[in-house]
Amino acid sequence: MWQAASRVSRSVLENGTCGAPKTRLKKSIGHCRARAAIHTRTVTDADIAHLAAKPLHPLTLADLVKHGRPPLPAEALFKSANFTLSILPARLAHRIQSLRNLPFIVVVNPQISKIHENYLHSLSTLLPWAEKEISTLEDEIQFTEVMADLVHTHADTISILARGFLEARKYISPKDVTRFLDEHLRARIGTRLIAEQHIALHFSSQPHQDLSDDADIHAESGYIGVIDTKLCPASIVRQCESVVSDICELKYGLRPSLVINGEPEYTFAHVPVHLEYIITELLKNAFRATVERGKEREPVEVTIAPLPENNLSDASNKMLKNIDQWNVDKASRLASHIVEEVNTGVSENIRPLKRSTPGVTIRIRDHGGGITPENYQHIWDYSFTTFTEDEASSSLSIGSGLEALSTISGASGDNKNSLAGLGYGLPLGRAYAEYFGGGIAVQSMWGWGTDVYLSLRGVGRVECGDT
């Protein structure tokens, strides 16, 4: 089984990942002789308890960029690998412990149990490395394979969890599931980001560029790992428009139009694949409403408005004051949650750079008739809370298409042509937005249309050694 996992991880490495520029490591991999399959160790309950008892590293985005701009020299690449290794095992153990805290009858569900086994597998591949320091290129290449294996292993976590909780819905309350998923999905964002950051730095490092045919591929790149310091939101909107338009045409035979106004040339530093996921989910909703109401001649409007270089939460609060009180309550919930995490120092979120950073608000406006009052209060619910038995059974029998993030990144997914999944799209999109101090607010005019406000905080003007 471990040899099969190693072959998969090599495939991921050789074909690129994370939305960052692709390169090949065939030559560098060929320099490693007699390489064994990924090292594994049996994980004991004592290992999990020990690691889960550790306070989580209060990670900042500065930690992700502190090793410098690509191409990294070998020593900086080793530091990145050792830093990654120092914080991931505890995060995986926290997830295992969280799964085990669910009711036993839920944990033994085949879908939930599979996620539990995936985390055990990932932890088992990391523990042998935790007992050593990475100081050679051969070790670093093998460790990067472990990171690629981790990313691949957890690629379908969301869709599997969704099916599991649907199957076990009789044994756990919607409130408890929502609490678990809110925590788990945010933790998953951090874990993947940490692993993908090192993989991307690996691809753009000096030693591996020297062994690659694409030595100059990163020379003019704005990337530092998975962070694009020159990210243009308007370009992301156009990319996502193309994807969603294709899906819409296949399903409905129509392609709604989209116009961008505001400041389409604006750029800031952010994680492109996160923004791609959020925009795709929001456009899916806007295009679907537009077509189903017969308003395809009315363009979906996207306005890009840069935020001033001050605290994003202040700007977001001013924006939210003009939106319904329900959204203000949600913003307050988020603010309280962040304060609690800062005070306890146990957050699994990655916090933005400490200094004030630029940001952007993106408004997506459609004329698709708005959201009915009875549905409006449930737009952030995971759909299983409102499914009828027939709907739940139907959803379990078809591909859900939930893992849109993997689809965008080029990974395989279920039912890519679906505009509707199990309803995780909007809550997960909000999780990505909130992860860096942003948020999503929805203002609907029933009978007319919907405005969605996406606020994002950039990661700052990243320089080597930023803190």
Per residue in 291-319, pLDDT tens?
999 998 899 999 999 987 554 445 444 44
Q: Residues 118-129: pLDDT tens digits?
A: 999 999 999 999
Cβ proximity of 265 and 232 under 8 Å: yes
Starting at the earlier edge strand, list the strands of the sheet with 258-262. Answer: 258-262, 300-307, 359-366, 449-457, 439-445
Q: Mean pLDDT of successive 10-residue segments in the chain (467 residues)? A: 36 41 40 53 92 82 82 93 94 96 96 96 94 92 95 91 90 90 90 94 82 48 87 96 93 94 94 94 93 92 84 47 43 40 47 64 96 86 56 47 33 36 78 88 94 87 46
pLDDT at 210: 59
Q: Residues 160-211: pLDDT tens digits?
A: 998 899 899 899 998 899 899 989 988 999 899 999 999 999 988 888 765 5
pLDDT at 394: 56
pLDDT at 109: 97
d(CA 205, CA 217): 11
pLDDT at 353: 53
- Phi and psi based region of residue 217 (left: phi greater than 0; alpha: psi -120 to 50; beta: remaining): alpha
pLDDT at 329: 46
Cβ proximity of 70 and 218 under 8 Å: yes
Instruction: Give the CA distances from residue 313 to residues 327, 332, 428, 436, 440, in Å, rounded to whole numbers and listed in that order.
Output: 14, 10, 20, 11, 12
The H or E element containing residue 427 is: helix 425-435
Q: What number of other Cβ atoms are within 10 A of residue 275's Cβ?
A: 25
pLDDT at 104: 95
d(CA 275, CA 440): 12
Helix ranges restricted to H, 56-173: 61-65, 74-100, 104-107, 110-130, 137-153, 157-167
pLDDT at 348: 57
d(CA 343, CA 200): 32
Which domains occur in the chain, in start order? 2-223 (1.20.140.20), 227-457 (3.30.565.10)
